[in-house]
Amino acid sequence: MSLRSQWFARVLADTERPLVAYLLRLGLPLDAAGDVAQEAYLGLWQQEPGSVDAYVVPWLYCFARHRAIDRARARRVTVSDDSVVAALASEDRPDRTIEHQQRNSALQQAIAQLPARQQELVGLKFIDGLSYRDMAQATGLSESNVGYLLHQSMRTLRGFLSQQGELP
């Protein structure tokens, strides 16, 4: 096994679950998420060695995100890039996105009420742990825009928590 194959196998092992989870959060059904992920990995392998090494995860997320939008368009859902989450979700998965079906905490519901773009960023930050830079790379937003939107989300959620009396 070549070093690059070893590297690739490791990328695959390390990222497949989070990538699938991200695609599910974007609203894709499980089988479609698997297909998109597969495309993304093959796309990664086509890249010039060394060209994306420094940002593999944002690259994969960015690639997969575009493919997800393409799919939504192919299904004749009118989507703008901005509302990809909501649009995909509106398809036939009312229980989409971040929350889990049976055990939505109040906070999880509050997160689900955020604008789609903010929801996606909250997921990339708190689930995938991406840095602002990586989030910008994955979503095509500027870093400062990422920071702004995330701050807005945090302020909303903070307001929610203090309303609930959950902040000291």
Binding site for another protein (CB under 8 A): 2-12, 14-18, 20-21, 24-25, 30, 34, 37-38, 41-42, 45, 49-50, 53-57, 98, 100, 105, 107-108, 111, 122-123, 125-132, 134, 144, 147-148, 150-151, 154-155, 157-158, 161-162, 166-168
Which single residue is written with the structure tokens 């903070």?
158
**Which of 77, 112 has the CB closer to another protein?**
112
Residues 6+ apart with CB under 8 A from 139: 61, 62, 65, 117, 120, 121, 124, 146
Long-range (24+ apart) CB contacts under 8 A made by 78-84 are 81/140, 82/116, 82/117, 83/116, 83/117, 84/26, 84/116, 84/120
Min separation Cβ 76 and another protein, Å: 27
Question: Is the Cβ of residue 68 or residue 98 nearer to another protein in the bound state?
Answer: 98
Question: Would you say 73 or 126 has its CB closer to another protein?
Answer: 126
Of 73 and 142, nearer to another protein (C-beta) is 142
Angstrom distances, CA of residue 156 to CA of 83, 104, 110, 130: 19, 18, 9, 21
Q: In the bound complex, what is the minimum distance in angstroms from residue 73's beta carbon to another protein?
A: 23
Q: What whole-number distance in Å separates Cα of residue 44 and Cα of residue 134?
A: 16
Nearer residue to another protein within complex by CB, 84 or 138: 138
Two tokens, residue 101: 């079906």
> From the CB of 133, what's the least distance to another protein, in Å?
9
CB of 122 to another protein, least distance (A): 7
Residue 15 CB, nearest approach to another protein (Å): 6
Burial class (CB in 10 A: 0-12, 13-18, 19+), 13: exposed
